[in-house]
Amino acid sequence: MNKIRFLVAMALCVIVSGVNAQNPIIQTYFTADPAPLVHDGTVYLYTTHDEDVTVKNFFTMHNWRCYSSTDMVNWTDHGVVASLKDFAWSDKTNGAWAPQCIERNGKFYLYCPIHGDGIGVLVADSPAGPFRDPLGHRLIVDSENIWNDIDPTVFVDDDGQGWLYWGNPNLFYVKLNEDMVSYDRSVGKNGVVAIEMTPEAFGPRAKPDDKHKTNYEEAPWLYKRGDLYYMIFAAAGIPEYIAYSTAPTAGGPWTYQGYIMERAPHLAFTNHPGIIDFKGNSYFFYHTQELSGGQGFKRSVSLEQFSYNADGSIPMIIPTKDGIKKGVSNLNPFQKVEAETIANSSGLKTLHDSNTGIYVSNIDDGDFLKVRDVDFGNGTKKFEANVATASSGGIIEIRIGGIDGTLLGVCEVKNTGGDLSWKIQSAKLKKVKGVHDVYFVFRGKNGNLFNFDWWTLKK
Ligand code: FUB
């Protein structure tokens, strides 16, 4: 999608949802198939990436992205953390479908389906990579039908047993060995166990056919809460509902429990669940087609908070535009804040530079970047930004409360000698105390005004 079409779609989204809406949570790229991982006080969100240009009216997906948050309202972009090119054994140039990442013994294992080429696994020493292929071949080698091998979900039980489920429109699992990159070959057919797809286990299909015997479609999400195992999944064909089943063990037997998210006009024809508990709250990730103005191959991750019922059942979750109403902590602006830490934005992209990492780019006149719950404490005097531009630059208006809210100061961004020649530029700020949503509103005459790496406040 070119910038103008992207801006029109984004403007529509902002008009429809308002700058105060939190959904979709990522606005710089189209993201789908959310797979959250809680690690060390941070939520890492792995997503697929629908390209801006859809080819042949089908999913156009080349790589996987990662975002992180400590407050559930501001998301830091870690960029592309893995791509089809990481699997040397696959010649696919499209098909980077729904992944999941898990940590074990200090290593991060990212299970990646390549549509039509099975499921591979990558490993890294840190959650945002760099990831490498430890096997040099696909992980699941004795599959019944490689086209079924999509949407892996992974879980390590309290007894140390790792489980990897996957499949469309049938469910399979392998019991992972402790190395997480091989599996127990003594169960099932060479280690692959096909789950019996019964209406009792996964719900009655309204119109069953040869392939679809139950309500289960794809996108399984496996986890344990208390003594109960949950399998959340996309259900009932296209457009997809989200439903779930529960079991007394990770291997089943599964009992169907019903729908937890209905179809809705702004949802895409696919949906994909991801559920976590974080800092005492429960969160449900899914995707919609809102940001693209209704294009099902250009989806975006959204997020809702929910509470389990007293009996452990999951209530119906209503997709909202507001999303998360209250974050779980405030943002400290007196340290370096990456510009790619974003609650909401319009018109922006992020790029990677080997010197500075991820930075915000594609900044044009009128674009904005919102950061939520910024704690000014007893006040601040100065704003600093690390920026770069080969052109005449532009300005950053620093506002609170809205894109037209109180103007605290204006940072002039002048030519730094190159689009990747980073310099700190600063602005005096009006004194303000307490916690506020901050809006950086960008102004200037040319396109691509400057690049924006990080910002901070000084007392
Ligand atoms: O994103 C590509 C595919 O669409 C996923 O693998 C499915 O879960 C569905 O969301």
Question: In this predicted model, what pLDDT tens digit does every residue of 168-201 receive, in sequence order?
Answer: 999 999 999 999 999 999 999 999 999 999 999 9
Q: Which atom of ligand 1 is nearest to the CA of 113?
A: 6
Q: CATH number, domain at 403?
A: 2.60.120.260
CA separation for the pair 69, 409 (Å, rounded): 27
> Which residue lies with its CA nearest to atom 4 of ligand 1?
270
Q: Measured in angstroms, how far is the CA atom of residue 447 from the centroid of ligand 1?
A: 35
Count of beta carbons in the 10 Å neighbourhood of residue 2: 8
User: Would residue 65 count as lying in a domain?
Assistant: yes
97 C-alpha to center of ligand 1: Å? Answer: 6
Regarding whether 196 and 79 lie in a shared domain, the answer is yes
98 alpha carbon to ligand 1 midpoint, in Å?
6
Residue nearest to atom 8 of ligand 1 (CA): 219
Instruction: Tell me the three state secondary structure of residue 367.
Output: coil
Q: Give residue 16's pLDDT band: very low, low, confident or very high (50, 70, 90).
A: very low
pLDDT band for 151, please (50, 70, 90 cuts).
Answer: very high
- Is 397 found in the same domain as 296? no
Q: Partners of 337 in the beta sheet?
A: 455
Measured CA to CA, the distance from residue 270 to residue 415 in angstroms comes to 45
Same domain, 375 and 270: no
Q: Which residues line ligand 1 (CB under 6 A)?
A: 32-33, 48, 59, 97-98, 150-151, 218-219, 270, 272
As a whole number of angstroms, the distance between CA 303 and CA 273 comes to 10
- For residue 5, the surrounding DSSP H or E stretch is helix 3-17
* CB proximity list for 269: less than 8 A, separation 6 or greater: 238, 239, 240, 296
Average pLDDT, the chain: 95
Task: With respect to residue 315, please indicate whether it lies within any of the assigned structural domains.
Answer: no
Tell me how far the alpha carbon of residue 33 lies from the centroid of ligand 1, in angstroms: 6
pLDDT for 270-323, tens place per residue?
999 999 999 999 999 999 999 999 999 999 999 999 999 999 999 999 999 999
State mean pLDDT over 86-90: 98
Which pair of tokens denotes residue 77? 């972009």
* Mean pLDDT in residue range 405-421: 98
Q: Label residue 266 by pLDDT band (50, 70, 90).
A: confident
Q: Give pLDDT, residue 455.
A: 98
Distance, in Å, from the CA atom of 80 to the CA atom of 292, rounded to the nearest integer, reads 20
Look at residue 11 in the predicted model and tell me its pLDDT. 40
Name the domain boundary from 284, 306, 328. 306
Q: Which domain holds residue 88?
A: 3-306
Is residue 132 a part of any domain in this protein?
yes
Q: Does residue 34 have a cis bond before it (omega within 30 degrees)? A: no
- pTM (2 decimals)? 0.95
Residues 441 and 372 reside in one and the same domain: yes
Tell me the CA end-to-end span of the chain in Å, nearest whole number.
Answer: 42
**7 pLDDT above the threshold of 50:** no
For the chain, the domain total comes to 2
